[in-house]
Amino acid sequence: MAFRISLFTVAILTTASCGLPIAEPTSGGSGKAEGFNVANDLARFHPKLAEPSYQVYVSETRAGQASSTTIYSASDWPIWSGGIARRWQRYAPRRDVGHSPPDYWRTESVAAAERAPVEKYDALVGNSSDYLACGGRLLDAAEQPLTRRDLLTTAAYCASWTREAWQERGAPAFRDSRLLSAVDAAWPSVAPDQLVPVTRGVGLATAWELSVHGPFRPVLPEYWNGHCGGWVWQSSTTPPPAREIVVRYLPDASPPIQACKPGTDQTGCVTFRAADIEALLAEVSIGAPITTLGSRCNSESSALLTEIAETGRVSDDRCRDLNPGALHIALVGLLQRGVDGERLAPGVDVTADYEVWNYPVIGFSFREVGVYTNRAAARRRVLAAHAGDGERILVADADRWVEIAMTLTLQDLSEELSLPAAERHRTKRFPLRYLLELKSDPEAVGLGQKRIVGGEWLDESRLTHPDFLFLARADQPLVRHPFESNPYVNTAVVRALHACANDPQSCAPRD
């Protein structure tokens, strides 16, 4: 059989986070004073937050909560466990990258209803099951015979992930025994333990998922790589799928997704459980439109810790991340005051280093720890928070400083996927400590009121603070990210499945 190679290896190098890709500011460094740099542009994040009334510090405003009650806990579909190619009803996700992945990609002796979400999608739309996933390429195995040249190309690429590379994290090498004799005959010099994991007999979307969002990547995934950004985007904008559906795909019909009639012998019927649809929604939402506040740092935490210990703060503008003053304005404005009659739940990346862990922020509370009315006292507090004695420069025109202890309430991940979304409401708390810098601005905010003009992270929050906040923009067209999201999963089909799960009339049989 001849293998046709579809190249998308470049995709693997960019699929390196749990969260959404964000647009990085290109200018406007923060310098030494912790005012608002270009990455902390409140107008860009949400225009309302740039209004002076939203930037007033109000000490009585101590808590806020999102209006939405449909934000739900779900899986982030970890890449090491196969992304949305994981058969979640049979295999729990694992993040210890050293383990050998389970045989979730095999088709033998697995009930159709228990297959992975993307496997079900392939079955629904009729994608060929003649693909092989190997190291970031799709190999079409539909034709006979397999030529020596094709086999050499296949084996050479697969073998490029050597035993040493595979085992450097403690995982045993293995391969598909069905290809063993053919590969050995064509390339006898390849030792059995030098071939990378491969599989065949899967659909196009499944093969892509295993090769790019799964353990068949030529670059080993990190333990934290997954789909959490897609989950946060969907959870913040749409209600969860409400029920299991049994449907078929009729591309020329309207609607193309139609429920199968009970008791009839219809062909092409596929069972989607609610979590299957959640997984597909998370997939197509990677790279969905967002606005951001802050920036992503790509340094490891050890490098940041070293610099903080030596100088007291991070100097690289790209790792200065989210300004605490901007965070305070955003959370009070979105979750307490609200905008346009709604209290919005932003997403947050809670890690200050290169890892990305996204969660919806569904609430907050804070208390004042101290108030400083002169610059010298505020400066002493800032210096006391750091091991180093590097020069600290507060915002030049600030005239009052308030130390804040804040706690974020985050919607957490959950693997209890057999439960309805409403029953797996998991939350976690994330503490922060920072200094707000305030300024008298009677022309903008009135006499006796103080405007937030900057901030400084304190104590442990110098390292354990968010990289950025983001807002899902459901009002903008959903443009799929070309390398981060599975190109063989159609957004319109996934949305039709979601609509069917929540509104039976949307997919009622027409014949």
Reading the block at residue 403, the tokens are: 């130390």
For position 387, what pLDDT does the model report? 47
What pLDDT does 84 receive? Answer: 94
Specify the pairing of strand 137-140 against strand 131-134. Answer: antiparallel
Give the DSSP H or E segment for 235: helix 228-237
Nearest alpha carbon to residue 226 among 88, 364, 429: 88
Distance CA 414, CA 434 (A): 30
Q: Which of 466, 472, 464 is nearest to 326 (CA)?
A: 466
For the stretch 117-144, pLDDT in tens is 999 999 999 886 666 555 444 444 443 3
Question: Which of 69-78, 106-115, 169-178 is least confident?
Answer: 169-178
Token pair for 463: 């390292």
- pLDDT tens figures, 389-448: 434 567 878 999 999 999 999 999 999 999 999 899 899 999 999 999 999 888 776 767
- Average the pLDDT over each of 58-62, 145-149, 482-486 and give the range with the smallest value: 145-149
CA-to-CA distance for 21 and 467, rounded, in angstroms?
13
The domain ranges of the chain are: 4-13+77-226+228-282+481-507, 46-75+286-472
Mean pLDDT of all residues in the chain?
75
Look at the block and give the residue holding tokens 């790792």: 319
Lowest mean pLDDT among 70-84, 108-122, 202-216: 202-216
Query: What are phi and psi for residue 395, nearest 5 degrees?
Result: -55, 130
CB-neighbour burial class of residue 201 (10 A; exposed 0-12, middle 13-18, buried 19+): middle
With a threshold of 0.85, does the pTM exceed it? no
| 368 phi, psi to nearest 5 deg | -80, 130
Tell me the sheet residues that pair with 365: 63, 407
